[in-house]
Chains A and B, each alone.
Chain A
Amino acid sequence: MSLRTALLFAASLLCAGAGAGEIPPSERRSGYDLMSRETRAIQDDDATNPGMLWVLDGEALWNRKAGAVGRACAACHGDARTSMKGVAARYPAFDAALRRPVNLEERIKLCRSERQKAPPLAFESRDLLALTAYVARQSRGLPIAIVIDERTLPFLDAGREAFHRRQGQLNLACSQCHDDNWGRRLAGSLIPQAHPTGYPLYRLEWQGLGSLERRLRNCLIGIRAEPYAFGAPEFVDLELYLMWRANGMKIETPAVRP
């Protein structure tokens, strides 16, 4: 059964028994906990985790001079193991100049273009994924720590609203799968709770590393909604809500998922 047909079946099924509501903190589970033993083993060992290939590329890029300013990330930020520790755990974070939250990829893109005066890195490009994975790797094991203030509250509310809004031709809300039916199967896949603990992560289905926005595109296309463009504010609102919803859970970057 293709994912599409599976989703069509699921659509009718979910309409019947929804309404379980938000997940209590004690019942939160990372997607990791729902994976097979074999896939968990691939993630656990840096010698077998293919995401480490990107982390190592990211480390090389971190130390390489770039742009008109001719400075490497390391020239300003020093050793990433200390300067970037915990950073990924509090993104998306409010950017005063843009007056909205930006995610980690956008933050790195901003440093590239404004601090290094280097040509922009495209979303989902190998180099941007590598740098993001390297920066986020420095937070592995640390708890997600999104602090909401009056500046970010409207964006959190927008993200929460989007998460609970039915959309797409299948007329499904994220919450119908991820709050109400997590742990159940959608064809061959277990429905996780959608905690963004491991991004960017290596998806076996992708045969490569991808961002949270790429994952969200997959879910949006699955319910036949039109996905937002990479970097769209709507995406960042959703990411902010997902990260806040996972507050206290541990960062796993680079995670592995089926």
Chain B
Amino acid sequence: MARAIVNVPARAKRGEIVEVKTLAQHPMETGFRRTQTGELIPRDIIRRFTCTYNGTEVYRVDLHPAMSANPLIAFSTIATETGTLAFQWAGDNGYSVTETASIRVE
């Protein structure tokens, strides 16, 4: 199961700064930990998160080991036009999750 929760205001005024909040379900296994018998637990992390707004990239972040599990990424963007924000998380072991949210700008 790979779930993500995104939160974008449903409507905004043109030019307004809006806050976007995202939460992705992921263990963010660092690759540095060992089991009780000494075997290395392989790394399993989200590598990259991107957000596009009507096709234009507005936010991107690279993630690294030792970031918390189920990372919460919040950022702001400017409400320019009515449309869709598309979110993508990609990482180790073929992890890939997408979500969308729409915003009405008046």
Kindly state whether residue A177 has any CB partner on chain B within 8 Å.
Answer: no
Kindly state whether residue A5 has any CB partner on chain B within 8 Å.
Answer: no
Partner of B1, one of A45, A46, A57, A208: A57
State the CA gap A208–B25 with chains docked (Å).
10
Which among A53, A126, A204 has the greatest number of chain B C-beta atoms within 10 A?
A: A53
Kindly state whether residue A50 has any CB partner on chain B within 8 Å.
Answer: yes
State the CA gap A46–B5 with chains docked (Å).
9
Q: Is the CB of A48 within 8 A of B21?
A: yes
Taking A47-B5, A47-B7, A57-B1 as contacts, is the C-beta distance between A52 and B23 under 8 angstroms?
yes
Kindly state whether residue B70 has any CB partner on chain A within 8 Å.
Answer: yes
Q: How far is the CB of B7 from chain A (nearest CB, A)?
A: 3
Q: How far is the CB of A62 from chain B (nearest CB, A)?
A: 14
Q: Is the CB of B5 within 8 A of A56?
A: yes
Q: Is the CB of B5 within 8 A of A53?
A: yes
Q: List, in ascending order, chain A residues with CB within 8 A of B68's CB.
A: 204, 207
Closest to B28 in A: A207
Q: List, in ascending order, chain B residues with CB within 8 A of A52's CB.
A: 5, 23
Q: Is the CB of A207 within 8 A of B69?
A: yes
Q: List, in ascending order, chain B residues with CB within 8 A of A46's CB.
A: 5
Q: Is the CB of A50 within 8 A of B23?
A: yes
Kindly state whether residue B13 has any CB partner on chain A within 8 Å.
Answer: no
State the CA gap A207–B70 with chains docked (Å).
8
1/0 per residue, CB under 8 A from B, across A24-57: the answer is: 0000000000000000001001111010110011
Q: Is the CB of B3 within 8 A of A50?
A: no
Partner of B23, one of A48, A57, A204: A48
Q: List, in ascending order, chain A residues with CB within 8 A of B3's CB.
A: 53, 56-57
Closest to A60 in B: B1
State the CA gap A56–B5 with chains docked (Å).
9
Q: Contacts A53-B23, A207-B68 given; 14 further ones with Cβ under 8 A?
A: A42-B72, A47-B6, A47-B23, A48-B21, A48-B74, A50-B23, A52-B5, A53-B25, A56-B3, A56-B5, A57-B3, A126-B1, A204-B68, A207-B27
User: 3 smallest A-B Cβ distances: which pairs?
Assistant: A47-B7, A207-B69, A50-B70
Q: Which of B's residues lie within 8 Å of A, judged by CB?
A: 1, 3, 5-7, 21, 23, 25, 27-28, 68-70, 72, 74
